[in-house]
A and B are shown apart, each in its own frame.
Chain A
Amino acid sequence: MNAIETSGLVKVFGDTRAVDGVDLTVPAGTVYGLLGPNGAGKTTTVRMLATLLRPDDGEARVFGHDVRADPDAVRRLVSLTGQYASVDEDLTGTENLVLLARLLGHGRAHARARAAQLLEAFGLTDSAAKQVKHYSGGMRRRLDIAASILNTPKLLFLDEPTTGLDPRSRNQVWDIVRAVVGHGTTVLLTTQYLDEADQLASRIAVIDHGKVIAEGTKGELKASVGVGAVHLRLRDADQRARAQEVLARALEADVQLDADPVALTARLSGRATEQAAEALAQLAREGITVDTFSLGQPSLDEVFLALTDKKEAAA
């Protein structure tokens, strides 16, 4: 069974179609990434699926339950970790978890035990008796995720779970997400960090202006933009214009000048390796010194920019 199925999902705020006909199919047991810039409609989509907003049109089902007709059945299966930590700042870490455990139906003693267990697992035992307003961003996120798995949910919504975190805290949140998924929970992850989607998600929908503009596995998305890209760094910035000409001829591709004055990037289409080797040889013949050279699949960043560019060009 699919964890999420939506068809033609629409949400309108005033004149803005925040979500404009989104079709999604999220298989159970996977991490599905919703990737898009701020204001693309990611959060609105998640809020509709989590029964916080009523869709204006279209259909959405969570494990077969219609979010409009049977929101209570959906609420029993899902947890939400919102963009802004969904915990009570005035209460302590323990109080937050005990409160939610009680609301989920745990008895007093069991709620306390469960809270203590989670705080321990998340390395928060030392701060358990402190008010959450004194927590760091990383600690809040952890507590927030702990609150979401008080009852292991079948579907967990993570709305930009690492926005504003330092790299180390971000890695730790990723580890937690992997552990949760390892135990059979489906995760719908929204993010504006391509790296994050790359790390965690198995399938990705790229969303922009309320519409899904591309969908597939990471490999499929990358392949849709081209075979790969060549990144070059020259020793001498003065040689860059010449290098651009040579490369454009050799690769039969557009060569972009990067912000770094000695760097260039070219997107390849056909026989990537042979073309790249030939290009290097030609640069050497012209007397242009290359410091570093790399050939790789396009990053999701490039995928994303290419997809949104394409759409703008068509409009």
Chain B
Amino acid sequence: MTVTKEVELLPAPKAEDLAAVLLETEQPRRPSALSASLTFGWRAVLKIKHVPEQLFDVTAFPIMMILMFTYLFGGALAGSPGEYIQYLLPGITVTSVVMITMYTGVAVNTDIEKGVFDRFRTLPIWRPAPMVGYILGDLLRYVLASTVIMVVGLVLGFRPGGGFVGVVAGVAVLVAFSFAFSWVWTMFGLLMRSEKSVMGVSMLVLFPLTFLSNVYVDPRTMPGWLQAFVDVNPISKLVASVRALMAGGFDGDAMIWTLGYGVFFTAVFGAWTMRLYNRK
């Protein structure tokens, strides 16, 4: 009922004010690539501000994962939940955050159908800025999810050898990798016809990647052919890097692989995303 009232009361446009606006014809300078991307990042943050419920995914899901795996498999796999969590926590952090990256694709897909995207595409700005903005906004979720898991982990008895610095370094590597990995989802977000198909493809990619890895159990317990896959899986490399950092060490080999995969995802899927974006 308030809506009808508003329509009736909507004041007529003010000619003098409009004239004043139109008289200002000075064109500001084109924003830099970084500035445009950060502005789009700000947009993503505003959306979280207006719909805070969407953070449920990045908080409840990781808590559920960590509780389930620690208490369900802890005893069987490592003798006790307390011992298992020392092994599991870095990996479950990686899994949770990498799982969340798929929401980037969903966000792109739901947005692209809306008129606002047309406006963005007619702006004289650095072309990838809207896409980078999505991912920048998502970095906030990654940091939030990592923090939640770490806090829950510490409460449950996780005692990282690397201390605070090691944990922060591990999370930093994870977030940086997730930034690169998100380009896979921006690509699918533009490619797929519906939100549902984006989710479907995401699951199809993410489940094997996260489970066929060194997240839950030591790969040495697996058959040879599976070990071969687990060894080259980018998630395994990432988990090895993060696990080492959190334990206070440094796995140079895994780190180089992680970095390489990051560059690969950004270059290939970033370029692919932009190709689709320009053609849309």
A contacts, CB < 8 Å to B: 47, 50-52, 54, 72, 75-76, 78-80, 82-91, 95, 99-100, 102-107, 110, 114, 117-118, 120-123, 127, 131, 134, 136, 138-139, 142, 147, 149, 151-152, 166, 169, 172, 175-176, 179-180, 182-183, 185
Interface-located stretch among B4-12, B76-84, B245-253: B4-12
Apart from A75-B123, A86-B115, A131-B50, 20 more pairs, CB < 8 Å:
A75-B122, A76-B27, A80-B122, A86-B116, A86-B118, A87-B119, A100-B123, A105-B27, A105-B30, A106-B28, A110-B28, A117-B21, A123-B10, A123-B11, A134-B3, A139-B10, A172-B12, A175-B12, A179-B22, A183-B19
27 contacts across the A-B interface (CB closer than 8 A): A51-B122, A52-B122, A75-B123, A84-B114, A85-B115, A86-B115, A87-B119, A88-B43, A88-B114, A102-B42, A103-B36, A103-B123, A104-B31, A104-B123, A105-B27, A105-B28, A105-B29, A105-B31, A106-B28, A121-B17, A127-B6, A131-B50, A136-B6, A139-B10, A147-B119, A172-B12, A179-B18
- Do the beta carbons of B31 and A102 come within 8 Å of each other? yes
Q: In the assembled complex, how far is the CB of residue A148 from the closest CB belonging to chain B, in whole angstroms?
A: 8
The residues of B that contact A114 with a CB separation of less than 8 Å are: 21
Q: In the assembled complex, how far is the CB of residue B62 from the closest CB belonging to chain A, in whole angstroms?
A: 25
- Mostly, the B contact residues are helix
- Do the beta carbons of B119 and A149 come within 8 Å of each other? no
Q: In the assembled complex, how far is the CB of residue A254 from the closest CB belonging to chain B, in whole angstroms?
A: 44
CA distance A87 to B119 in the complex (A): 8
- Do the beta carbons of A79 and B19 come within 8 Å of each other? no
- Do the beta carbons of A102 and B39 come within 8 Å of each other? yes
CA distance A106 to B36 in the complex (A): 11
The residues of A that contact B40 with a CB separation of less than 8 Å are: 103
Contact residues on B (Cβ < 8 Å of other chain), bracket: 35 or more
Is B46 part of the contact surface with A, judged by Cβ < 8 Å? yes
CA distance A111 to B15 in the complex (A): 21
Interface residues of B in 106-147 (CB under 8 A from A): 114-116, 118-125, 129
Interface residues of B in 15-67 (CB under 8 A from A): 15, 17-25, 27-31, 35-36, 39-40, 42-43, 46-47, 50-51
Is B13 part of the contact surface with A, judged by Cβ < 8 Å? yes
CA distance A104 to B46 in the complex (A): 19
- Do the beta carbons of A183 and B13 come within 8 Å of each other? no
Query: Given A99, A147, A169, which contacts B43 in the complex, CB threshold below 8 Å?
Result: A99
- Do the beta carbons of A117 and B20 come within 8 Å of each other? yes
The residues of A that contact B220 with a CB separation of less than 8 Å are: none
- Do the beta carbons of A82 and B43 come within 8 Å of each other? no
CA distance A243 to B87 in the complex (A): 97
